[in-house]
Homo-oligomer: A and B are copies of this chain.
Amino acid sequence: MDSQGFREAATATIDEIITYFDTLASRNVVSSVEPGYLRKLLPAEAPQDGEPWAAIQQDMEAKIMPGITHWSHPGFHAFFPCATSYPSILGELYSSALSGACFNWICSPAVTELETVVLDWLAKALGLPACFLSTGPTRGGGVIQGSASEAVLTAMVAARDKYLRETVPDTLEEGEREERVMVKRSRMVALATTLTHSSAKKAALILGCRFRAVRVREEDGYALTKAGLKAALEECKAQGLEPFFLAATLGTTDVCSVDDFEGISEALAEYVSPGEPGEVWVHVDAAYAGAALVCPEVQESTRIGLISRFHSFDMNMHKWLLVNFDASCFFVRDREWLVQALSVNQAVYGNKASDGGLVTDYREWQIPLGRRFRSLKIWFVLRSYGVKGLQEYIRRTIANGESFAEALRGRSDLFEIVTGPSFALTVFRLAAKTEGAPLEERNALTRALYEKVNATGKIWLTSTELDGRFAIRLMTAVRTTEKEHIETAVKTLVEVAEEVMRG
């Protein structure tokens, strides 16, 4: 493909993308293909000779689009959003042209430096404490990771190594220290709650360390409390285990609950004083709800300033902040914690700037070596929308969540809200058909509602289970979702719920 061929192909692709967004609402939100549909449509091997672009592009609409589930569809109320926006697409476009494995500063200084700057911009916009800024008092800073899973894994690795440095004497002879470290590791345990995202458990699996999920309860708003954490720490201690890491959450996946940061601080301070050897690293997973911190009222209601006592924080701009996947923004209070855990040298990567210690080499802040120019799309989105534009958008989607919940409350004969609306997420189930109806019956009816509504293809919902209660989650944070789409969702739910209730 030469320059002219690319110009024509790219121009046509841009037209297709615009048409896609302009007509998105007319498609069904979830793909309805059968497993294995695509293999039947494609040859068994790559072609020997190159094909013209026209043939390739034709296959996009004919073969690929039927298998796409539309995450930007106004009826996408499942999981959390996975955003995109025009400025973000432009950032990705530049990035793909400037492809490089930018593991060291010298591999493209702009890739490293823009990342540092825009993550400082973001930290300020979110109202994070100054300790998470690259220019802050504790030599903190941010780095773009691929996903919140990689962020919690990176945090856990750094936490484990920090704990081992603090608790196993480095004066020991190397072999003896290795043995002591191995024994110590076998006693260490990572903590989370029963509503923490599964990525924390997966990180512990990868590290091969013990993991305990503290149960969170409805009466506490599904938040980890001081009492809950205190009891868990004591139980670990009684079993001879050593907690070194806690995954706290701002906006759990199931219900968007927020852990009690103050209570967590207090319980931990009573266990090991902050800053003392062996303190428990606290990672705040705000993958989805962290985006709402662009609004000062959310900074205040979540008391985000309290996280200055913690060690790391992560939020995904690719969820609710209009940047396309992937852009997980991970902040630490002291970047040396990452470098000490993740720095591995190899002769071929040596260069004056790195060896002089003057620059950031982000390979030392992450699991992979190479990295894309992901800060461009963040820069474009922050500049194109401005902080006010992002605030407006977040407030609009939160208001849509409130309208939705209000509509459900207006039909308490049909629905019972289980949690929320919290950060544009409402969790609900069918009202009891008769007073004191058994749980199984209510679960079965709610599941019937859930499946019938999803079968319409017009909206997509996901479900969860809370203390044995099957419940439906409806999220209103997609960029294209407007008031009218909420009304459609309510109308569909009411119709199907009436049908289900009738029997």
Interface segment among A144-152, A268-276, A433-441: the answer is A144-152
Contact indicator per residue, chain A 448-483, by CB within 8 Å of chain B (1) or not (0): 000000000000001111000000010000000000
**Are A325 and B186 in contact, CB atoms less than 8 angstroms apart?**
no
By the criterion of a CB under 8 Å from any partner CB, how many residues of chain A are at the interface? 150
CB proximity of A332 to chain B, nearest CB, Å: 17
Given the interface pairs A114-B64, A207-B208, A370-B82, the reply to whether A96 lies near B93 with Cβ below 8 Å is: yes
Using Cβ atoms and an 8 Å threshold, which residues of chain B touch A93? 10, 13-14, 17, 89, 92-93, 96
Q: How far is the CA of A384 from the CA of B2 in the complex (A)?
A: 11
Using Cβ atoms and an 8 Å threshold, which residues of chain B touch A160? 208
Using Cβ atoms and an 8 Å threshold, which residues of chain B touch A306? none
**Are B205 and A342 in contact, CB atoms less than 8 angstroms apart?**
yes
Interface segment among A45-53, A219-227, A402-410: the answer is A45-53
Q: What is the oligomeric copy number?
A: 2
A358 at the interface (CB under 8 A from B): yes
B-contacting residues, A92-135, CB 8 Å? 92-101, 105-111, 113-114, 116-118, 120-122, 124-125
**Are B68 and A98 in contact, CB atoms less than 8 angstroms apart?**
yes
CB proximity of A207 to chain B, nearest CB, Å: 6
Using Cβ atoms and an 8 Å threshold, which residues of chain B touch A197? 346
A429 at the interface (CB under 8 A from B): no
Using Cβ atoms and an 8 Å threshold, which residues of chain B touch A65? 110
A177 at the interface (CB under 8 A from B): no
A232 at the interface (CB under 8 A from B): no
Among A160, A207, A326, the most chain B Cβ lie within 10 Å of the Cβ of A326
Given A10-B89, A208-B209: 18 more A-B contacts, CB < 8 Å:
A10-B14, A13-B93, A38-B117, A46-B118, A48-B387, A48-B388, A49-B388, A55-B383, A69-B106, A71-B108, A72-B99, A84-B99, A182-B185, A201-B344, A206-B367, A207-B207, A207-B208, A326-B370
